[in-house]
Structure 1
Amino acid sequence: MTQLIITGVFSALFFSSTFVLNRAMSLQGGHWLWSASLRYLYMFAMFSAWLVLTGKSRLLREVFTTYRKNWFFWTIAGSTGFGLFYSLLTFSSSFAPGWVVATTWQSTILATPLVLLLFGKRVPVRGILFTLLIFTGIVLVTCEQATAASWKETLLGILPVLAAAFAYPLGNQLMWEARHGSIGIIPKVESCVLDSGIGRVLIMVIGSLPFWVVLTVVLRPPAPTGGQLLNTAIVAVFSGVIATTLFFKARHLARTPFELSAVDATQAMEVVFSLLGEIVFLGGAWPGYAGGAGVALSLLGLVLYVRSQAVAD
């Protein structure tokens, strides 16, 4: 259990670069779609090149073979867990500071038990009760943000994040179920791809590519700026490669719904890392009393949640 928590916290550290850099790109005038889609194009290129250069081309071929065998399923899983999730997250960065988006994003800890219930898993009630503290913290942060911006901007900065909070665990759980083959309507995938951290990330990236193509054709955004090209590359490495691989590794090692929920709960540390990052690198201000209390409650909910799972195990 301790190894899962430590791995999850480190993934949260690298994930926090997403909120800080997406906010930076938004302030610089870059379109949110490029901030989202370029990350996954970079990830695809980086993972593919890494496998070729390290003599693991066989795994790369297996990823494409596995995708072709169940292309519809992987497109749904990738478009949900990577595409829908990240497009909504980057869209919100145009209307709210990174630490507000990061705090609201902790609603995924509330969403995860609901997603697990949807797949017929048993979820501890005490864990759900502790996540209500996190939800209360999100409400306080929302109230403070509403005093600094209009309600329209506040809602545009928060509601998409709440939807993204469901999309991410839903997409990840689809992949988990495919590997374990416990639900009839989901194809059981027996492939070395799902036993590899890079393989799991890469097949979800490939599954999301059709989503990005369709969204680009529909929205027709202006060309990305030079700064956006650089920042999305950094996000791709820190968040897309390092953080996602660590997070998937922790989830892969989880064997029970309790452990799966605990791994997802460690992502609340993104709030602290994002807040510090925005203050240091973007000259952001410290949150007020309501915002500070909201952050504190979110972190308290995380600590109590993980502690309860450790005791249960």
Structure 2
Amino acid sequence: MLAILGVWLVIMGKARLGLDAIKIFFRHWIFWTVAGSVGFGVFYALITFSSVFAPGWVVAATWQTTILATPLVLLAFGRKVPLKALALTVIIFIGVILVNLEQASATGLREVLWGALPVLVAAFAYPFGNQLVWEARKGEKSFVPSIDHPVMDDPFCRVLLLTLGSLPLWVILIAVTTPPPPSAGQVMQTAIVAACSGVIATSLFLYARHHARSTAELAAADCTQSMEVVFSLAGEAILLGHVMPGILGWGGIALTMVGLMLYVTFQSRQ
């Protein structure tokens, strides 16, 4: 991600802005290490761990609990969240349970727990890290540094800052797990994920979040992640030839999608 971001900023004529981002990082290195390690490090590490034990569509469906986590994270930052909206997350949570029940019947409870529990933690880590950045840009919280600089308005620079902040966690994980050198295939797959998910998708997501002016708009932006389930299913069926979910799985996905649509509809009326 660092290599791709560096090349992209140079191509876009934003090399000086990228250097400013590095200066901002060292000026507030504790903040960015916390935000990056939680929002990027914990998130990516746990999602990757879960993918070993569960299909991508199950991980994506379970990930929808981040919609449940977002209001709780906003409340933790002292932001007001409509209580009625929280009730709609019950529908989403039931859908997630159905998806994992079907997976449990196919693979066993142990695999489901190893596949689902890390995703639940990641579902809180991602919005927490992103909200730290949003609060730093707003400059309204005493426990978060106020960072009023053009780099905070550029989504690629924000991704760069979070990526830099996550590096200490990756170093610790490598030291603890001592993995073997990656194969050529792993390097290529990682490069694709870094470009599509880490740089493009995350930059677009942070761009949308940056323009949110209320908790309702923040929650609506986070709800867009619901389409992960659809794309994961399509990708696994077309590219990997995986078996499609059964009746219980489809029912869980349907409940999740309906709950998310109702959630966004309710938020848009606030």
Please indicate the TM-score interval, normalised by the length of the shorter structure.
over 0.9
Question: Post-superposition shift, 1:264?
Answer: 0.4
Q: 2:175 aligns with which of 207, 217, 237?
A: 217
1:296 aligns with 2:254: yes
Question: Post-superposition shift, 1:62?
Answer: 0.5
Q: Deviations over 1:214-250 (max 9, x none)?
A: 1111110111111111111111111111111110011
Aligned equivalent of 1:228: 186
Aligned equivalent of 1:116: 74
Q: 2:229 aligns with which of 251, 257, 271?
A: 271
Q: Give the Cα–Cα distance (whole angstroms) in 2 for the partners of residues 76 and 300 of structure 1.
A: 34
Aligned equivalent of 1:198: 156
Q: Deviations over 1:179-214 (max 9, x none)?
A: 111110111112111011111111011111111111
1:99 aligns with 2:57: yes
Q: Give the Cα–Cα distance (whole angstroms) in 1 for the partners of residues 219 and 212 of structure 2.
A: 9
TM-score normalised over the length of structure 1: 0.85
1:154 aligns with 2:112: yes
Q: 2:207 aligns with which of 226, 230, 249?
A: 249
Question: Post-superposition shift, 1:52?
Answer: 2.3
User: Taking every aligned residue pair, what percent have the same amino acid on both sides?
Assistant: 55
Q: Which moved more, 1:160-169 or 1:193-202?
A: 193-202
1:169 aligns with 2:97: no
Question: Post-superposition shift, 1:72?
Answer: 0.6
Aligned equivalent of 1:82: 40
Unaligned runs of 5+ residues in structure 2 are none
The structure whose RCO (Cα within 8 Å, separation 6+) is larger is: 1
Q: How many residues align?
A: 270
Q: Deviations over 1:148-190 (max 9, x none)?
A: 1121111000000000000000000011111111110111112
Give the match's secondary structure for 2:32.
helix
Aligned equivalent of 2:27: 69
Question: Post-superposition shift, 1:55?
Answer: 2.8
Q: Cα RMSD (Å) of the superposition?
A: 0.9
Q: Give the Cα–Cα distance (whole angstroms) in 2 for the partners of residues 192 and 257 of structure 1.
A: 23
Specify the code of the residue in structure 2 equivalent to 1:113: P
Q: Any runs of at least 4 consecutive aligned residues in structure 1 with deviations exceeding 6 A, and if so which? A: none
Give the match's secondary structure for 1:222.
coil
Q: Give the Cα–Cα distance (whole angstroms) in 1 for the partners of residues 29 and 120 of structure 2.
A: 28
Q: Give the Cα–Cα distance (whole angstroms) in 2 for the partners of residues 222 and 83 of structure 1.
A: 20
TM-score normalised over the length of structure 2: 0.98
Q: Deviations over 1:242-283 (max 9, x none)?
A: 111110011011100000001101111111111111111111
Q: Give the Cα–Cα distance (whole angstroms) in 2 for the partners of residues 59 and 217 of structure 1.
A: 32
Aligned equivalent of 2:11: 53
1:130 aligns with 2:62: no
Q: Deviations over 1:55-106 (max 9, x none)?
A: 3221111011100111011000000000001100000000000000000000
Aligned equivalent of 1:284: 242
Unaligned runs of 5+ residues in structure 1 are 1-42
Specify the code of the residue in structure 2 equivalent to 1:220: T
